[in-house]
Amino acid sequence: MVETLSVRLARRFGDFALDAAFALPLSGITVVFGPSGCGKSTLLRGIAGLDREARGEVRLGGEIWLDSAARIFVPAHRRGAGLVFQDARLFDHLDVAGNLAFADRRSRGQGGGSGLDVDRDGVIAALDLAPLLPRRPARLSGGERQRVALGRALLSRPRLLLLDEPLSALDRARKIGILPRLAAVPERFGIPVVMVTHAIEEAVQLADRMVVLEGGRVIATGETIEVLARPEIYPLTGRFEAGVLIEARVEEHRPGDALTRLSVAGQELVMPMLEGLAPGQPVRLRIRARDVALALSPPRDSSIRNILRVAIVGIEAGDEGAFAELMLDLGGQRLRARITRASLRDLGLGPGMEVFALIKSVSFDRRWIAGNPAQS
């Protein structure tokens, strides 16, 4: 049975006040997302037990970690949570092997933490740490330090792994190296993850579900695909722009055309070759609303390869401005289309109508394509 993490926390710093509440199943990866200064790290510290001034409740399953009304406060070292911070915080006087051994011995000496069978060799193999074992932290790159910090946290055998902006100090190349390893943690080791980030691309690639914070308050929670479709979070996604995530499956690669054929809801999508993804592998795709055009019938003699039958389920068109946004149903998934209000009127579009969504292959943004974490 999947446990629930239930959080209701309040904390004030000068003019800033955190007042956040949510309850989510504790499985896979939950990403706490929001802009800098919105209270993400404060929330994580409250969950971890690093802030005795936090007020409210934190419960993991049937266990109470914090209940300020009942004067219950379980200190951090007794909560069984593993922590990884932006700056890694390794023991500089120990080599990598020593850092890992410290956590391993400490966990076993305390009765094995969560009781999970997390073995040292498995962690070293999963995070590719073997070449680093004799080296001191000062001789590691930023990405290598974070992999070691993650390995040390796993060897503490936590019930819950808490990550506070673990990738924010890494360049893109080093992020690419660690993301698949991080994504595989819940399935490989059976440890759920709660991760804080302000980078929406990290949320897209890692999150099974999201908690979105703004100004110290939770404005959205739920499955990642559903949360990212909500208009209220668009101002927080920056260059990510209005759009949605959809889940598709790799069907085949066509090397001669440098294309990959995908399927979604029984329909076909074609896009530039997705190297490294095997047929049958699920993927998430980010499709921007401005890249979706609509037609009442499938066009003929067109260069557009991706023509999907959809149904209009909602229309957002105010009295001002040139554009309207339409929510479209694609076999239970959602697309968004941004068209002019004139086109909306001239085509006679309305809720319940079946139309065709036209998406150019080149409009898929490859930066935001994410393979299924369990198979990365």
Q: Looking at residue 267, which CATH number applies to its domain? A: 2.40.50.100
In the predicted structure, residue 119 carries a pLDDT above the cut 90:
no
Mean pLDDT of the region 2-13: 92
> Do 306 and 331 belong together in one domain?
yes
Over residues 78-106, the pLDDT tens digits come to 998 999 988 878 999 999 999 999 988 88
> Do 131 and 249 belong together in one domain?
no
Whose tokens are 């499938």? That residue is: 298
> Do 262 and 211 belong together in one domain?
no
- Band (pLDDT 50/70/90 cuts) for residue 347 is very high
- Band (pLDDT 50/70/90 cuts) for residue 348 is very high
> Do 250 and 218 belong together in one domain?
no
Mean pLDDT across the chain, nearest whole number? 87
- Band (pLDDT 50/70/90 cuts) for residue 374 is very low
Ranges 161-170, 224-233, 248-257, 301-310: which has the least confidence: 224-233
Which residues, other chains included, contact 333 with Cβ-Cβ below 8 Å and sequence gap of 6+? 225, 244, 246, 247, 264, 265
**For position 2, what pLDDT does the model report?**
76
> Do 62 and 80 belong together in one domain?
yes
> Do 144 and 32 belong together in one domain?
yes
> Do 180 and 58 belong together in one domain?
yes
- Band (pLDDT 50/70/90 cuts) for residue 264 is very high
> Do 218 and 249 belong together in one domain?
no
Among 217, 235, 253, which residue terminates a domain? 235
Domain count, the chain: 2
> Do 344 and 326 belong together in one domain?
yes
- Band (pLDDT 50/70/90 cuts) for residue 375 is very low
**Looking at the whole model, is its pTM more than 0.75?**
yes
Query: Can you give the CATH number for the domain in which 223 is found?
Result: 3.40.50.300
**For position 289, what pLDDT does the model report?**
85
In the predicted structure, residue 280 carries a pLDDT above the cut 50:
yes
Among 235, 255, 288, which residue terminates a domain? 235
> Do 213 and 270 belong together in one domain?
no
> Do 102 and 218 belong together in one domain?
yes
Q: Residue 132 belongs to what domain range?
A: 4-235
In the predicted structure, residue 154 carries a pLDDT above the cut 80:
yes
Q: When comparing pLDDT for 311 and 230, which is higher?
A: 311
**For position 312, what pLDDT does the model report?**
96
Over residues 121-144, the pLDDT tens digits come to 889 988 889 999 999 999 999 889
> Do 153 and 31 belong together in one domain?
yes
**For position 180, what pLDDT does the model report?**
80
